[in-house]
């Protein structure tokens, strides 16, 4: 049947009789196939939009998604076959040759630019301009079909009653005269069809669990999330998109086998309204079962389970599966990961967690150049060993070199235990130069960490040693601290967020040692929030704040790497990297005990022809200060504007900022989202 329908569409221009019956058949087939594949892409670029109902059959136009092509009525099939037999003399486009010379000219005019653009792109008449040996009889038949073709196209935009005028001007009557006749098409949209009502009904387990609070909450969320509201324009793309989004929401929580069992759009041409109804069949509720892993050779199943953090008996939540897959992919142990639960699993109460992996090599090396507006060009070398001899831990060693900063660091990480905690050891050697100061430092850390999407936690002991040289002398200091760090994230997207917030807190208690012993407390907090406007078209605000403080007796010193400086791409734009610090004698800028940073940024999508692009524009104000006493904080403020590109790897930010203190403009470039 499907092959028959495809042939039927290919020969559509041949049919001049019974167009209403044919349109009904096409609608039922197209939307039946569309609903059974609602999770797939709703439209294909450079192809005409799907056929829709016309005013002649719109009194009760429906697209029952529980009817497959094989279930169409026998009468409809018979009628269509007769039509095909009676129109064998029509043009056979598939077998006809084309010529280099057009048969006629076409102009399309409409006060609605969207309709005009659609007709110029998809009108079938354009396909026959270059047909060789086109007779006047065949052209007349094409023109008879054109009005129905126009109505079919405009209906996909919600205009079911367009005013259409088709005029043919012979070649000898054109001004100036021409060798080709001119076909003029005038198409005015008429009133747009709007949504009158929407009914959402449920079947299956989701309907049966009336007393289950989680399922009741899901039903309410599905009802609230329906995209087409009363008085909204009814278009084919909005209708298909709304159903697809609804099905995606249903199948992402508890019910991966859910489907749209029926949907209907009843168009009333008298008052230009659409009555919509959708029935969701949830199918059975799914719970996770055991892991079923393919591709393991060197690593253990226990390691995979501890990275996924999925347990038998857990509810099926697509978000948890996505996070588990990302944790495996980011672990460094695998080059490829595919994790899924089969919605056709015969045992939904303990559905298998299917995991297919491709193991990474035990050892790998990466060398690459880079560039930042903070530090200029750089070269990075990284060596990874996924199973260190004797320990069995993973190690990552990196060497980074740029014009002002040279750093070597190593991280050793154990495999997560059954509670998802992992031991971590870290070491770093670094040499950092500013215009008036040089710092050579070493750091060693050992502790336990827990990493997840909502919250990261770590507890560790840390040793620091820093030697700082400037015109005012040399400081060579050491310290040991006990630390805790917590990061809480509540963003709607962890790659490119548009709403939500994050909060990070670090707390350390320790003491310097050497020539003097001075206990101290070190605190650092940071906050990031996205506040969307009422309409997404109006953009969002990004709010950022940070505070750092070292509490120690007055006059006492600690390693400069535990103190604060700021300025640059990710802190206070308009100033160079680490430009803002404590101004000492001899015009030396050094690190300080206290730091504050604040930023307000407004981001708004960029539209072209009223369509959103992958770019946002932004305006911002950044401010920050560093001092050795809270009362001495002196704010450095930068203002500017920039462009954001929502790339597949995260946001790319290009900013021009003006520093009010320096009265200079600086370019800032930043890639990705990290919190």
> Which among 502, 504, 507, 508 is positioned nearest to 487, based on CA atoms?
504
What is the pLDDT, as a whole number, of residue 50? 35
Asked if 310 contacts 320 with a C-beta cutoff of 8 angstroms, the reply is: yes
| Cβ-count burial 175-193 (b if 16+ within 10 Å, e if not) | eeeeebbbbebebbbbebb
SS3 content of the chain, % helix, strand, coil (to 5): 25, 45, 35
Q: What's the average model confidence in pLDDT over 100-112?
A: 87
CATH topology of domain 105-188: Ubiquitin-like (UB roll) (3.10.20)
Q: What's the average model confidence in pLDDT over 416-440?
A: 92
Distant-in-sequence, close-in-space partners of 6: CB < 8 Å, separation ≥ 6 = none
**Torsion over CA: 625, 409, 521, 547 (sign):** positive
* Angle 174-178-180 from CA coordinates, rounded to 5°: 100
> Which among 275, 308, 315, 274 is positioned nearest to 292, based on CA atoms?
308
What are the start-end ranges of the H helices in 37-135?
Answer: 74-86, 113-122
Cα radius of gyration rounded to whole Å, the chain = 33
Answer yes or no: same fold for 194-281 and 409-672: no
What is the pLDDT, as a whole number, of residue 258? 96
| pLDDT at 195 > cutoff 80 | yes
Domain 287-359 sits in CATH 3.90.180.10: no
Q: What is the DSSP string of 511-522?
A: EEESS---EEEE
How do beta strands 455-470 and 363-372 pair?
A: unpaired
CA distance 199 to 510: 64
Q: What's the average model confidence in pLDDT over 388-406?
A: 93
| pLDDT at 138 > cutoff 90 | no
- Of all helices (H) and strands (E), which one includes residue 248? helix 236-251
Range with the poorest average pLDDT among 72-76, 124-128, 489-493: 72-76
Question: Which of 369-373, 514-518, 654-658 has maximum average pLDDT?
Answer: 654-658
Residue 575's alpha-carbon distances to 347, 565, 639, in angstroms, are 61, 12, 10
Task: Indicate the pLDDT class of residue 178, thresholds 50, 70 and 90.
Answer: confident
Q: Enumerate long-range contacts of 647-651, CB under 8 Å, 24 or more apart.
A: 647/614, 649/495, 650/495, 650/496, 651/496
In the structure encoding, which two tokens stand for residue 64, read together?
Answer: 């029952």
**pLDDT tens across 230-243, in order?**
889 998 888 999 99
| pLDDT at 43 > cutoff 60 | no
CA distance 427 to 408: 8
In the structure encoding, which two tokens stand for residue 179, read together?
Answer: 């060798």
Distant-in-sequence, close-in-space partners of 382: CB < 8 Å, separation ≥ 6 = 365, 366, 367, 396, 397, 398, 399
| pLDDT at 486 > cutoff 50 | yes
The percentage of residues in the chain with a pLDDT greater than 70, rounded to a whole number, is: 85
CA distance 46 to 37: 20
CA distance 431 to 275: 70
Angular region, 136: left φ>0, alpha ψ -120 to 50, beta rest: alpha
Asked if 267 contacts 61 with a C-beta cutoff of 8 angstroms, the reply is: yes
CA distance 287 to 290: 10
Range with the poorest average pLDDT among 16-30, 316-330, 369-383, 621-635: 16-30
Q: What's the average model confidence in pLDDT over 184-213?
A: 91
* Angle 308-312-315 from CA coordinates, rounded to 5°: 85
CATH topology of domain 194-281: Ubiquitin-like (UB roll) (3.10.20)
Question: Can you name the residues that pair with 402 across neighbouring β-strands?
Answer: 378
Angular region, 156: left φ>0, alpha ψ -120 to 50, beta rest: alpha
CA distance 476 to 474: 7
> Which among 554, 484, 489 is positioned nearest to 522, based on CA atoms?
484
Q: Where are the chain's structural domains?
A: 105-188, 194-281, 287-359, 409-672
What is the pLDDT, as a whole number, of residue 534? 85
* CATH of the structural domain 409-672, one choice from 2.40.240.20, 2.40.160.50, 3.50.30.50, 3.30.70.1450: 2.40.160.50
Range with the poorest average pLDDT among 56-65, 400-409, 588-597, 663-672: 56-65
Q: What's the average model confidence in pLDDT over 288-305?
A: 94
CA distance 31 to 57: 16
Q: What's the average model confidence in pLDDT over 595-623?
A: 95
Range with the poorest average pLDDT among 98-102, 248-252, 310-314, 639-643: 98-102
**pLDDT tens across 565-576, in order?**
999 999 999 999
What are the start-end ranges of the H helices in 11-160?
Answer: 19-36, 74-86, 113-122, 136-155
Its pTM stands at 0.70
Q: What's the average model confidence in pLDDT over 640-657?
A: 93
CA distance 150 to 109: 12
What is the pLDDT, as a whole number, of residue 98? 60
The torsion angle over the Cα atoms of residues 13, 17, 21 and 27, rounded to 10 degrees, is 10
- As a whole number, the mean pLDDT across the chain is 84
How many Cβ atoms are within 10 Å of 6's Cβ, its own excluded? 11
In the structure encoding, which two tokens stand for residue 519, read together?
Answer: 């206990």
**pLDDT tens across 500-514, in order?**
999 999 999 999 998
């Amino acid at each position: 049947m499907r092959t028959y329908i495809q042939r039927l569409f290919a020969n559509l221009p041949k049919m001049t009789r019974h167009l209403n019956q044919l349109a009904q058949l096409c609608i039922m087939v197209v939307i039946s196939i569309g609903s059974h594949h609602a999770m797939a892409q709703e439209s294909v670029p450079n192809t005409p939009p799907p056929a829709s109902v016309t005013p002649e059959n719109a009194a009760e136009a429906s697209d029952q998604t529980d009817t497959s092509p094989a279930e169409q009525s026998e009468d409809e099939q018979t009628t269509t076959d007769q039509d095909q037999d009676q129109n064998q003399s029509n043009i056979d486009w598939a077998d006809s040759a084309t010529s280099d010379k057009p048969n006629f000219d076409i102009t399309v005019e409409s006060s609605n630019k969207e309709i005009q653009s659609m007709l110029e792109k998809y009108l079938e008449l354009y396909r026959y301009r270059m047909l060789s040996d086109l007779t006047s009889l065949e052209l007349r038949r094409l023109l008879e079909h054109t009005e129905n073709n126009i109505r079919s196209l405009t209906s996909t935009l919600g205009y079911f009653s367009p005013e259409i005028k088709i005029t043919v001007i012979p070649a000898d009557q054109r001004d100036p005269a021409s060798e080709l006749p001119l076909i003029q098409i005038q198409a005015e949209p008429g009133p747009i069809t709007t949504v009158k009502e929407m009914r959402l009904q449920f079947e299956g387990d989701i309907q049966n669990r009336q007393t289950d609070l989680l399922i009741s909450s899901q039903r309410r969320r599905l009802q609230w999330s329906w995209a087409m509201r009363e008085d909204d324009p009814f278009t084919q793309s909005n209708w298909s998109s709304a159903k697809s989004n609804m099905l995606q929401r249903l199948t992402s929580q508890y019910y991966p086998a859910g489907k749209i069992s029926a949907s209907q759009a009843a168009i009333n041409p008298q008052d230009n309204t659409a009555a919509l109804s959708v029935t969701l069949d949830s199918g059975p509720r799914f719970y996770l079962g055991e892991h079923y892993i393919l591709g393991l050779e060197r690593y253990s199943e226990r390691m995979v389970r501890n990275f996924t953090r999925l347990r038998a008996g857990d509810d099926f939540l697509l978000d948890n599966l996505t996070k588990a897959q990302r944790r495996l992919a980011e672990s460094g142990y695998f080059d490829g990961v595919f994790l899924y639960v089969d919605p056709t699993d015969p045992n939904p109460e303990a559905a298998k967690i299917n995991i297919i992996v491709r193991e990474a090599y035990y050892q790998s090396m990466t060398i690459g150049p880079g560039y930042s507006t903070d530090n200029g060009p750089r070269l990075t070398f990284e060596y990874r060993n996924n199973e260190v001899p004797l320990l069995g831990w993973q190690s990552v060693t990196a060497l980074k070199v740029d014009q002002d900063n040279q750093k070597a660091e190593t991280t050793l990480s154990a495999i997560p235990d059954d509670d998802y905690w992992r031991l971590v050891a870290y070491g770093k050697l670094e040499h950092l130069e500013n215009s008036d100061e040089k710092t050579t430092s070493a750091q060693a850390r050992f502790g336990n960490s827990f990493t997840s999407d909502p919250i990261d936690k770590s507890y560790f002991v840390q040793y620091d040693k820093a030697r700082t040289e400037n015109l005012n002398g040399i400081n060579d200091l050491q310290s040991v601290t006990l630390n805790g760090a917590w990061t809480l994230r509540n963003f709607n997207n962890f790659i490119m967020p548009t709403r939500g917030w994050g909060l990070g807190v670090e707390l350390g208690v320790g003491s310097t040692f050497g020539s003097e012993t001075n206990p101290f407390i070190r605190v650092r907090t940071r906050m990031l929030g996205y506040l969307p406007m009422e309409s997404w078209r109006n953009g969002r605000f990004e709010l950022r704040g940070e505070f750092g403080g070292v509490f120690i007796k007055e006059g006492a010193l600690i390693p400069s790497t535990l103190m604060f400086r700021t300025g640059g791409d990710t802190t206070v734009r308009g100033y160079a990297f680490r430009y803002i610090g404590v101004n000492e004698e001899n015009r030396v800028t050094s690190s300080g005990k206290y730091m504050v940073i604040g930023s307000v940024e407004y981001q708004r999508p960029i539209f072209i022809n009223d369509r959103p692009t992958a770019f946002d524009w932004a305006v911002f104000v950044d401010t920050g200060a560093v001092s050795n006493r809270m009362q001495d904080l002196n704010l450095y403020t930068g203002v500017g504007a920039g462009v954001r590109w929502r790339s597949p790897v995260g946001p790319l930010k290009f900013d021009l900022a003006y520093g009010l203190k320096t009265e200079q403009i600086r370019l800032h470039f930043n890639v990705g989202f990290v919190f």
